[in-house]
Amino acid sequence: MRGTGRARALWYTAPSSCAIGAATYEDPQSGEAMVQTLYSGISRGTEGLVYRGEVPQSEWQRMRAPFQEGDFPHPVKYGYANVGKVLDGGGSLSGRTVFSLFPHQDVFNLPSEALVPIPKDVSPERAVLAANMETALNALWDGKPSPGDHICVVGGGVVGLLTAYVAGRLPGSKVTLVDVNPARAEIAEALGLAFALPQDAPRGQDLVFHASATAPGLATALACAGDGTAVVEMSWYGANAPEVPLGADFHCRRLRLVSSQVGTIPVDRQARWTYRRRMETALTLLADPVLDRLISHRIEFQDLPETLPAILEKSSDVLTALVVYDTAA
């Protein structure tokens, strides 16, 4: 008979309400590992929609997190950026620091194949960005940028910044981050990017990524796109329906609006790429210490019910909120 342990987990309990509740886990069997969480990351965009109850019913199944408990709209245990240490089981993973798509919980069990070792040149704190980096990598696959391209990223949240950062590593590329917040200019410069406010955004771009999750941002992205090129839409609006300016010159300039969603690998890569290979690649892309700038806030796990509402406010100036567990000391 398997032993059972007690844990604590964050639950979204009702619209605009959350609490830390009890959870359980069992001793690992063969092929499983027990993980003690060191850090987890708050995904402000998606978790904000979950917190506010804005996941549309049509997406309740598709938007389930890999290890979610409960059902939409509430209560749900939701999250997908967990960094922990393997305490028991796991074979060669024993004692390793690993990333998984597990919610905010202090101890849990998972199949070993769901745990990805963190490279030695990536700090455990920075590794919480892996899920966001995976989204950025997937978007670049969908956009298909080339060396020398002039690329614009509209929306300076963490996903937009990571997308711009990776695009900026293409030889000869010129990448501009566009955001309504002038304070983003400093971090853009640190990442090797140009910066512009929407009214000064460059035109005639070879490729544009939109990650602001706002209708004005999408309008700016379309205006930035050069004739015959694409805007890769990375934003997910939940139950909201933004206005999309498809009149005026949209057709005569032969613009394209391309959706990108991390839940699936682009069709032209599915024969060769697995989800694990994509995640392993995303982790290697986090080796640069400059990306520590994307962690803007630190929250103690036990303080989440009090501090999370402000973090998830649409107007809050938060990039990544790092959740720190008492096991990380």
Determine, yes or no, domain membership for 280: no
The CATH number covering residue 78 comes to 3.90.180.10
| pLDDT at residue 314, as a whole number | 80
Number of structural domains in the chain:
2
202-237 pLDDT, tens digit per residue, is 999 999 999 999 999 999 999 999 999 999 999 988
Q: Are 138 and 200 in a shared domain?
A: yes
236-247 pLDDT, tens digit per residue, is 887 777 888 888
Determine, yes or no, domain membership for 41: yes
* pLDDT above 70: residue 269: yes
Q: Are 197 and 76 in a shared domain?
A: no
Instruction: List C-alpha distances in Å: 81 to 49, 268, 324.
Output: 16, 27, 12
pTM of the prediction?
Answer: 0.94
Q: Are 75 and 159 in a shared domain?
A: no
Q: In DSSP terms, which residues pair with 162 in a beta bridge?
A: none
Give the domain extent around 259: 134-268
Q: Are 31 and 149 in a shared domain?
A: no
| pLDDT at residue 121, as a whole number | 97
Other beta carbons less than 10 A from residue 315's beta carbon: 6
| pLDDT at residue 324, as a whole number | 98
Query: Which range among 57-66, 112-121, 141-150, 184-193 shows the weakest confidence by mean pLDDT?
Result: 57-66
| pLDDT at residue 329, as a whole number | 53
The CATH number covering residue 253 comes to 3.40.50.720
Determine, yes or no, domain membership for 283: no
56-114 pLDDT, tens digit per residue, is 899 899 889 999 999 999 999 999 999 999 999 888 999 999 999 999 999 999 999 99
Q: Which two tokens stand for residue 45?
A: 């965009």
Other beta carbons less than 10 A from residue 263's beta carbon: 10
Q: Are 159 and 255 in a shared domain?
A: yes
Q: Are 91 and 143 in a shared domain?
A: no
Q: Are 115 and 148 in a shared domain?
A: no
Q: Are 246 and 146 in a shared domain?
A: yes
| pLDDT at residue 317, as a whole number | 87
* pLDDT above 60: residue 311: yes
Q: Are 46 and 171 in a shared domain?
A: no
Determine, yes or no, domain membership for 60: yes
Q: Are 30 and 89 in a shared domain?
A: yes
- Which residues, 6+ apart, have CB-to-CB distance to 169 below 8 Å? none
